Chains A and B, each alone.
Chain A
Amino acid sequence: MKRTIGSIALSALLAGAVAGCAAGGGGTQGGSESIRIGLAAPISGTQAQYGESFKNGAQLAAAQINEAGGIEGKNVEIIIHDDKGDSNEAVNVANKLASDRSILAVVGHFNSSATLATAPVYNKNKIVQISPSSSAPAVTDAGEYTFRVITTDAFQADYLADWSAELGYKKVALIYEQSDFGLGLLDVYQESAKKHNIEIVGAEAYNPGDKEFSIILTKLKEQQPEAIFIGGFYNEAALIAQQAERLNLKADFIGVDSLYSEALLSLGGESVNGLKLIGFFYPGGDNEKATAFAEEYQAAYNSKPDTYAAYAYVATAVVLEAIKEKGADRESIKTYLETLEGFEGPTGVISFDENGDVLTVPSRLTIQDGEFQLYQ
């Protein structure tokens, strides 16, 4: 009996290990007849949920092309590699993808730190890397093969500072993630706030994955800010809003488009009502592509897409568009992207500037009665 239990557990562990490998390898056995695009995303680790959105978004873009007959009769295949959200692991993944000549372009990575770490690898191997979500200003200069479909944090933070001034805030506190992403937001927001005579009454950092915010919120409460700017992701934003409510801290919250997710609503509950944010992906507004994408996503995965699923979808769709127009070749994908203008997708109309940065205008959103709505 003892032995049976032992062997069951052992085989379960082995099965898990095999399954893990399969997920990492992502079906490398696909025939040479297919169009192969790499996806480098945090499938496991603390950012796994964003990796999940990436996977779903990218695969939806591929599935739509395949259903319509593929590109010149060839099916599109997404080769998924797990970078665990870790810069070192990301470089390993980048080396694997870049050295595989059958991979035409790579969609990834998720966080700016990983994208910056891997950019030299992709640029050396002359393969396009298109990040759905890395918005740190430094990505602008990462190399001519590095593109992204999200605007820079500099743009977003600047835009938010303007908006804060319009809302009449005089005293603002900042809570930001201790990362390239958060620090980028902090710098630009502080800079622009100065121009608008907004006083920054406190700036507190947290580490990605932190759950305990009552310490910094208790500190900020003393300063009586009118608004708190959140430079981070939706999970933390939900916790911040909730813990602020428990501490009786009455301030408006304002934040970047990374907060746009159903999870913010479900985790934050009533405490996120009134939170203001900007969004590039907003289904239900004027952008028909966004509404259509949300419906197709819902049909495919039975859940609502977040911002990252939409960005990953756009990044993949842009690459596939390039292949359709210019052929299945690494170099021509790059030349196509450099000249791309007015691509309509769920995150708005996008064009790339000479640095591979995207230009697009966001919507102003707020949360009311547990739903995202256009801010009027």
Chain B
Amino acid sequence: MLLQQLINGLSIGMIYALIALGYTMVYGILKIVNFAHGDIYMMGSFFGLFFMKELHMPLYLAFIFSAVSAAILGMIIERTAYRPLRKADRIVPLISALGVSTFLISLAQLLWGTEMHPFPTAFGSKTYAVGSVTFSEIQILIFILSFVLMFGLHLFVTRTKVGTALRATSMNLTNAALMGINTNRMISLTFGLGSALAAVAGILVGIYYNAVYPNMGYMAGINAFTAAVLGGIGSIPGAMLGGVLLGLVETLAGAYISTQYKGVISFSILIIVLLIRPSGILGKKDINKV
């Protein structure tokens, strides 16, 4: 049973990690929490549904197109809701983020209705049994795709010129601008990348649970945000670690204690970690910015 629960936990954890990356990257660069991020993930899931159901695209194309659409959406949101407020007090973009979140949920309800939609693909339900442990096609896809994307992001940020510029911007916005980096473009890129990853997570979850609906971003957003904080907000490897850790803790708490208390247990662990290491497991020491 333990092995099966670990597989369950890892699948959820990988998804949390993918979404958490968006929170952590935006925080790293702008020091704001983009509370609309969970709803971008929801929109990404609906985009995937739309491309497959209305335009009859195969699954892999739906991944690409909805990632691109979500990236554009993320960049538009940054332009309209955050950029005009960049010089304002930090509480202002927070309120603006909540506004965007409500706007996106209402928009999805208007466009697609309030009900749950099944994901129109036969892929994913096939299962493989090894001894008493079973895992499904979609779980395998979640592992592979999440790993490839996270590894790719890591390479992009650490090994490319643009990645270096991105890191410079996140270290110090003003100084990076003085070095000739177009920081606005870097911020746009951050939103775009984060949103694209969220859209991929949205489709994976859509297939995993066979359910897409306007409110799906809320809990996923909270969990992913928690994962980002747990790992150390602002740190990309931290978000990955935090996501996987949260998924595992939640699952094991549910399995061996009680599913009713899995939220209580995972948030208690968050509090304990923050008491011992206020900047999260892999976070940097200086947290004066909060």
Contacts and interface: CB of A to CB of B under 8 A. Distances in A.
B61 interface: no
B114 A218 contact: no
From DSSP, what is the main secondary structure of chain A's interface residues? helix
A205 B254 CA distance: 10
Interface string B92-129: 00000001001101110100011110100000010101
Nearest to B11: A214
Interface of A: 2, 5-6, 8-10, 12-13, 16, 19-20, 44-46, 48-49, 51-52, 178, 204-207, 209, 211-212, 214-216, 218-219, 221-222, 235, 238-239, 242, 245-248, 263, 266-267, 269
B115 A52 contact: yes
A209 B254 CA distance: 16
Nearest to A20: B106
State the 9 A-B residue pairs at the shortest beta-carbon distance, nearest first: A9-B80, A48-B114, A215-B254, A49-B115, A49-B114, A214-B8, A211-B209, A246-B136, A248-B134
B259 interface: yes
Contacts of A44: 105-106, 109
Interface residues of B, number: 46
A52 B255 contact: no
Interface string B233-244: 000000000000
Given A219-B1, A248-B129, A16 B211 contact: no
Q: Is the interface of B mostly helix, strand, loop or mixed?
A: helix
Given A216-B254, A242-B209, A242-B210, 12 more contacts: A5-B79, A12-B103, A46-B215, A52-B115, A204-B259, A205-B258, A205-B260, A209-B215, A214-B8, A215-B255, A218-B4, A247-B127
Contacts of B136: 246
Contact of B211 (A9, A12, A216, A239): A239
28 contacts: A2-B79, A5-B79, A8-B80, A16-B106, A48-B214, A49-B115, A178-B260, A205-B258, A205-B260, A206-B259, A209-B219, A211-B209, A212-B8, A215-B9, A215-B262, A216-B254, A218-B8, A219-B1, A235-B211, A239-B211, A246-B125, A248-B127, A248-B129, A263-B115, A263-B116, A267-B118, A267-B211, A269-B210
A13 B210 contact: no
Contacts of A218: 1, 4-5, 8, 255
Nearest to A46: B215
